[in-house]
Structures are given as C-alpha cells and as structure tokens.
C-alpha cells in the first residue's frame, strides 16, 4: 500500500443487488479517495447460513419495501438494477456458488478481469434477468467481460478444484470474522483496526471515518 492509503475491502456476491450498488460507487471513488480498494468475492449463502441470517424477502413487508428501495437506489446510484416481485423466487431458486467460484478462479489467475467480470455477472442477473448458474451462461458472462475462451475454460475447470473451493470458503470466513452477516460488507483498515460497514448506503459514513469527503454516489 502507498503511504497513508486506507485499505478498503469489499466482500460481495453477485446474487446481491446491494453489492452491485456498493461495488460501482467504490469503483467511482477509488481514484478520488486515498484508498486501496480490494475486491473480495465471497459466498452470501455461506454467510447467511453461518450467521443465521434470512433473506429480507422472507418477511413480506420487508420484501415490499425492498422492491421500492432497490428501484430508488438504482436511480440515485445510476446502476441498472431492475427488480420485480418475482425476482425473490428467482434469487431463492438460484445458487451463486458456481459463479462465485468462477470469479474466485479468475481472481487467482487473471486479476485484471475481476472488476469487469463481476460487473457482467450483475448485468446479466440483475439487468437482463438471465441465468448465471449454468456453465454455458458463466462462459457467456466471461466472454462479455473480454476474457478469452481459453482462459474461461481453464477457470471453469478450476471451480471444482480444492484450491478454488478453499479460497472462496476462506474469504467467506474472513468476512464473518470481521462481523459480516450479509452483503455487501465493506471493511476499512484505519488507525490499525478494521471498521465494518454493512450495505451500500453506508459509504458516506465510511468516508467520514477515514477522513474522506463524500461527494454523492456519482462524483463527477
């Protein structure tokens, strides 16, 4: 890390729409704030299970609110999340495990593609409402992100390897160790200690803690 730069880790899963919002905003701020941003692909299912958390839509009133909330946030954050009522079933019926292992494999081998690849997974699932769990769809996403067929194929083969499985498990465990119970979980290492911020609407507070100025979700 460069002198005086704050290490900021973003633990995320592409099944989480709020993770996408947080991801895009931090991407916009990484050249404005004095931070070193690290993307930490983790598995939301594992976090929910190990902390006893439940998907927000399990509570009908919360589900109703979340639909409106995501719509407003998408507009305010200028991120093309499109959510409708039947998305709750879609999320519950989709496992992001293969996608997150694939992202982990790319993180381990060709890190320069981590940002565009993650973005394409969100685009496909949350903007185009397409599947991200089947191997052929994962390869489509990788192609959209500019990854060659050869590299994609290699990463796809890696998802069943102990190395990748362990790495994803470790990253997920690390998020829990910092106190995460959902996604996105943002951890700022400041003044010698980790500060956890949950959700995409706490980045203003993050700025305040690390002494950086918040310029809204779309700083120009």
Predicted structure pTM score: 0.96
- Domain ranges in the chain are 6-210
Catalytic (active site) residue 16: yes
Percent composition of the chain: helix, strand, coil (DSSP 3-state, to 5): 55, 10, 35
- List all residues 6 or more positions away from 33 whose beta carbon is below 8 Å from its beta carbon: 6, 207, 210, 212
Alpha-carbon distance values, 101 to 1, 7, 89, 188, 196 (Å): 27, 24, 22, 24, 24
Coil, strand or helix at 196: strand
Fold of 6-210: Glutaredoxin (3.40.30)
Alpha-carbon distance values, 169 to 41, 44, 172 (Å): 10, 11, 5
Question: What's residue 176's pLDDT?
Answer: 98
In tens digits, the chain (220 residues) has pLDDT values of 456 899 999 999 999 999 999 999 999 999 999 999 999 999 999 999 999 998 887 888 998 999 999 999 999 999 999 998 888 888 888 999 999 999 999 999 999 999 999 999 999 999 999 999 999 999 999 999 999 999 999 999 999 999 999 999 999 999 999 999 999 999 999 999 999 999 999 999 999 999 999 999 999 8
Alpha-carbon distance values, 34 to 6, 190, 214 (Å): 6, 12, 12
**Which one of the listed residues 16, 19, 96, 118 is annotated catalytic?**
16
Question: What's residue 3's pLDDT?
Answer: 61
């Amino acid at each position: 890390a460069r002198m005086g730069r704050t290490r900021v880790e973003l633990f995320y899963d592409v099944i989480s729409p709020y993770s996408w919002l947080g991801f895009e905003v931090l991407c916009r701020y990484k050249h404005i704030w004095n931070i070193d941003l690290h993307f930490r692909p983790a598995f939301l299912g594992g976090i929910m299970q190990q902390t006893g958390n439940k998907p927000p839509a399990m509570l009908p009133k919360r589900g109703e609110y979340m639909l409106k909330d995501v719509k407003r946030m998408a507009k305010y954050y200028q991120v093309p999340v499109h959510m409708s009522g039947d998305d709750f079933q879609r999320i519950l019926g989709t496992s992001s495990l293969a996608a997150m292992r694939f992202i982990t494999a790319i993180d381990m081998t060709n890190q320069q593609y981590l940002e565009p690849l993650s973005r394409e997974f969100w685009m496909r699932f949350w903007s185009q409402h397409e599947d991200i769990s089947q191997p052929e769809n994962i390869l489509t996403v990788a192609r959209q992100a500019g990854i060659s067929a050869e590299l994609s194929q290699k990463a796809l083969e890696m998802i069943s390897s102990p190395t990748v499985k362990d790495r994803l498990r470790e990253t997920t465990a690390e998020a829990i160790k910092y106190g995460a119970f959902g996604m996105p979980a943002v951890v700022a290492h400041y003044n010698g200690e980790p500060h956890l911020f949950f959700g995409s609407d706490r980045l203003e507070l993050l700025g305040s803690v690390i002494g950086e100025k918040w310029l809204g979700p779309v700083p120009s």
